[in-house]
Structure 1
């Protein structure tokens, strides 16, 4: 069995380490649901804290699950322009 942190466990560990803002896919049901594309209605948030069993984003909303993601800019080549 792997001891590698992932999903919401990784986000909690990053916050405990002192990270201040972590972009995450968020959901209230599960890590798996957070990572699914719900017909283009997916949710991302900048997570800033974890307290009382909930993740909190910079906008003040609370979430049960928060999976760290990478956000990178699209290049002109990728946009085919």
Structure 2
């Protein structure tokens, strides 16, 4: 039994329950499973529910996982001293 079959038989039914509960209670989430097979060594299964007003980091994580966007963020810190 490969990882995709394990996902299909054991994890997917649980994910269906999680999705239903999250939708009912408006709970945002992101879940991603790496389930490579010989035919597709990069196979993943990603599920997410993130409301437009939901947490930015969850929206970003979902976009990175689904769209493959680079996960690099840049920022600058400026300090000022009183003279």
Give the TM-score normalised by structure 2.
0.30
Please identify which structure carries the higher strand content. Answer: 1
| Greater relative contact order structure (CA < 8 Å, 6+ sep) | 1
Q: Which protein shows a greater Rg?
A: 2
Give the TM-score normalised by structure 1.
0.30
